[in-house]
Amino acid sequence: MASEQEAPELNRNLYPAIEPYSSGFLKVSDLHSIYWEQSGNPNGHPVVFLHGGPGGGTSSSNRRFFDPEFYRIILFDQRGAGKSTPHACLEQNTTWDLIDDIEKLREHLQIPEWQVFGGSWGSTLSLAYSQSHPDKVTALILRGIFLLRKKEIDWFYEGGAAAIFPDAWEPFRDLIPENERGCFIQAYRKRLNSDDIETQYAAARAWTKWEMMTAHLIPNEENIKKGDDDNFSLAFARIENHYFVNRGFFTSDSYLLDNIDKIRHINTTIVQGRYDVCCPMMSAWDLHKAWPEADFRVVADAGHSANEPGITAELVAANEKLKHIIKGKSA
C-alpha cells in the first residue's frame, strides 16, 4: 500500500464551481445521442469523467475534481442517462456500445489521447475502455472499484449488505413478494420493464433508495432524496439492473482482472473507502493484488461516495500528482 509521505504539498480541496465553455449532443447510433460538455482550459490536458451507475449521469460538481487552469475537463452522460436521449433506454445499451461512444466522442473533440477518471461503475467502464484502447489513455484514476463479478452483485442485491443496513434493505426487499425473492435483480427486472409506468417508478424508487442510503459512511440526506426523483431513478435503476442482469456484457466473471496486462504500463491511482458497502474493498484489493504497480490508496474513514471528505481529498491529490508529472515532462 502506498504511503502518504510524498503527498502533503498536493492540493486536496475541490476546485471552485465552473461552467462549461462548450456543450452539445453527439449522435452515436441511429437511436442514441449523448450529451457532452467541456470546461476548464480549452488548451489544457484532456481528462474524461466516466460517471457511475450505470445510469447515474453527470453533475456540475464532477468538474471540481480537476484544476480548471490545467485540465480540459470532458463530461458526458452515457446512453439513456442524464441529458442523453432516449431517456432510460436499454436498447443498444451495452458496455461495448459505451466504449465505442467514448471513442466517438474523443474523435469528435479531436483529442489524440486523454486521462480517464471513473468511480464505481465508472471504474468498471474505465478499466474496460482502457483495456480496449490502451494507446488512447495517458493515466487512470479509479475510485470505489467495481469489477461486476457475481459475488459483488450478490453481496449488494441478494442480501449480503443487508447485514449492515437492515433498515435500508427491508423496503427494497419488501417490494418483492416472498416467492420471488430467490433472485432480486430478476424480480426487479420484471418490474422495471413492466408495461405499467407506475410499477416501473415504484421499483425504480426502491432500487435507487437502497443504493443512495448505503453510499456514504454517514448517511447523506441530499443523496437519499435522489430516490424520490422519478426521472433520475428510472434511468438509474433500469440501466443498472440491465447491466447487472447481463453481468456487464463481459465474456467471463474475471474479464477485467484477466486483461490487466494490457494496461499495466498506464500510470494509475486506485482510491477505495475502507467501509464501502456498495463496492466492498475486496474488489479493490483483488485489483491491487493483480496490479501492484498501481498506486493503491485506502481511505480509512469513508464509504463509497466520491463526495466523502477523505475520498475527495485523495481524488483531487491524484489529479494534482499527475498534473505535476505532466508539467515536469514539459518543462
pLDDT in tens, 254-309: 999 999 999 999 999 999 999 999 999 999 999 999 999 999 999 999 999 999 99
Q: What residues have CB less than 8 Å from 84, skipping those under 6 apart?
A: 25, 32, 33, 34, 35, 57, 76, 77, 78
Burial class (CB in 10 A: 0-12, 13-18, 19+), 198: exposed
Residue 297's nearest CA partner among 319, 277, 278 is 319
Q: What residues have CB less than 8 Å from 160, skipping those under 6 apart?
A: 154
Q: Is 272 strand, coil or helix? A: strand
pLDDT in tens, 108-148: 999 999 999 999 999 999 999 999 999 999 999 999 999 99
Handedness of CA 268, 274, 278, 280 (dihedral sign): positive
Distance CA 114, CA 139 (A): 8
* pTM score, whole prediction: 0.96
Q: Reading across the β-sheet that carries 295-299, which strands appear in turn?
A: 22-27, 33-40, 71-76, 45-50, 114-119, 137-143, 267-273, 295-299
Q: What residues have CB less than 8 Å from 172, skipping those under 6 apart?
A: 184, 206, 207, 209, 210
The pLDDT value given to residue 78: 98
By DSSP bridging, strand 114-119 and strand 137-143 are parallel
Phi/psi of residue 256, nearest 5 degrees: -70, -40
pLDDT in tens, 142-179: 999 999 999 999 999 999 999 999 999 999 999 999 99
Looking at the annotation, which residues are catalytic? 120, 276, 304
Structural domains of the chain in order of their starting residue, each with its CATH number: 22-149+250-330 (3.40.50.1820), 151-248 (no CATH)
Q: Is 270 strand, coil or helix? A: strand
222-231 mean pLDDT: 87
pLDDT bucket at 58, cuts 50 / 70 / 90: very high
Total residue length of the chain: 331
What does DSSP assign to residue 300?
A: T
Q: Residue 272 in contact with residue 261, Cβ under 8 Å?
A: no
Q: Maximum distance among all alpha carbons in the chain? A: 66
